[in-house]
Structure 1
């Protein structure tokens, strides 16, 4: 039975391999450890093995973990799940990143409720890149409007795009989706100074995601085991 530290090392090695295969710089892809439904003890095991960025899907569970580990000030906490309007305040008060912004109302509330003593909240816009009814996120044609809106919010820092592509796509479909994401990211990366994050890729598609320019991959089960 592998430990969390051993599985984490395997995940890092796979990222290094995929990055090298894509002829990209060795430090150009960040690992986000998705710790949803996992106990604080598992997060501590990953932390002790050097992991500093953790992703949570559920607001209340995530906030409780942030509070329990508040003495570890070098952790970056990412909210990657959907957020209801009545949960924006606690998210704005506790998280460092929100990757799942998909409408102006949520962006406005996160901005207005971000405490003045904290740094601006890093946000990514979630794209529903394959137009799946079961998934959150905006359509590509809505992206420009939301980018412009977020850039007007003083307590938010727009960092990039997040997407969850279709599961089990054909090779052709996968390449098309990831290429579209790469093109959109490049467009805004060129024109906006802090737009540096393309959050796409999980255990099943990490190599293709990195090949197409992902700067952050989200890995959960391969590090923490099945839920």
Structure 2
């Protein structure tokens, strides 16, 4: 029953954080970050009410998507960095790709989506901490990449994603979440668009992310337990 209990606790925390920020709970998606988790654990989370799952690696994700295709109303997102040569598989299997971070990937996703007659939903990943070890466009290049990607007829930019630097004190993540929200608001103003999503917050800081406007929180350990 552990996963079911974990999901209930997370739902309560999200509800409290949304209320604190005066937000509508309905606009917040709890996404199970299911990297390395077996299908059985995903089924447990599904039975506990989780309908969105995020995979880091394309091939691992495809295997699970095929294995669990009988589950109704299940949504699969790609939340890990994406190599250009895997784009053709990503557009076939994933509803939302969180990790668009360069023009060459926008080109490839656009091309591959066009070939399968799909308009691919994407988020632009921003490297808010400007860390060398992380994916994401640097903040000062976001506007250029956004405008570039906006012109691609087979891409639908739905918002932004970030993974801030890790801090034991989750309050230290807050400025990065604020930064991403402000970037979204600035893009909306400048380009006259409405961006639906801010994908931010993980197991240790998702409550803070919800307070700062997250619409998708990516939760692995707090749902599934520590990875083996």
The reply to whether TM is greater than 0.5 is yes
- For the residues of structure 1 that align with 2:194 and 2:154, how far apart are their CA atoms? 14
Asked if 1 retains the 8 angstrom alpha-carbon contact of 2:84 and 2:105, the reply is yes
Structure 1 length as normaliser, TM-score? 0.92
Aligned to 1:209: 209
User: What is the DSSP-based 3-state SS (H/G/I as helix, E as strand, rest coil) of the residue aligned with 1:134?
Assistant: coil
Cross-structure match for 1:177: 176
8 Å Cα contact 1:158/1:194 also seen in 2? no
Does the C-alpha gap of structure 1 residues 52 and 192 become closer, same or farther in structure 2, counting only changes over 3 Å?
A: farther
Moved more, 127-136 or 67-76: 67-76
Aligned positions of 1:84-163 closer than 5 A:
84-114=83-113, 119-163=118-162
Partner Cα distance (1:159, 1:66) in 2 = 22
Structure 2: 5+ residue stretches without partners: none
Q: Tell me the residue number matched to 1:64.
A: 63
Contact 1:93 1:115 in 2 (8 A): no
Q: How does 1:47-62 map to 2 (within 5 A)?
A: 47-62=46-61
Q: Is the 8 A contact 1:125 1:162 kept in 2?
A: yes
Q: CA deviation at 1:115?
A: 5.8
Say whether the 8 Å CA contact 2:122–2:156 is kept in structure 1: yes
Tell me: CA distance 1:192–1:38, structure 2 relative to 1, closer, same or farther (3 Å). Answer: farther
Structure 2 vs 1, CA of residues 20 and 172 (structure 1 numbering), >3 Å: closer, same or farther? closer
- Over 3 Å counting, the alpha-carbon distance change for 1:182 and 1:194 in structure 2 is closer
1:24 corresponds to: 23
Please give the per-residue CA displacement for 1:147-183, whole angstroms capped at 9, x wherever unaligned: 1121111221100100001111767753332221121
- Asked if structure 2 preserves the Cα contact closer than 8 Å seen for 1:92 and 1:115, the reply is no
Q: Is the partner of 2:134 in helix, strand or coil?
A: coil
Moved more, 117-126 or 17-26: 117-126
Q: Equivalent residue for 2:199?
A: 199
8 A Cα contact 2:170 2:205, kept in partner:
no
Structure-2-length-normalised TM-score: 0.91
Contact 2:197 2:215 in 1 (8 A): yes
Write the distance in 2 (CA, Å) between the matches of 1:68 and 1:115.
26
Structure 1 unmatched runs, 5+: none
**Is the deviation greater in 94-103 or in 193-202?**
193-202
CA root-mean-square deviation: 1.9
Cα separation, 2, equivalents of 1:129 and 1:137: 8
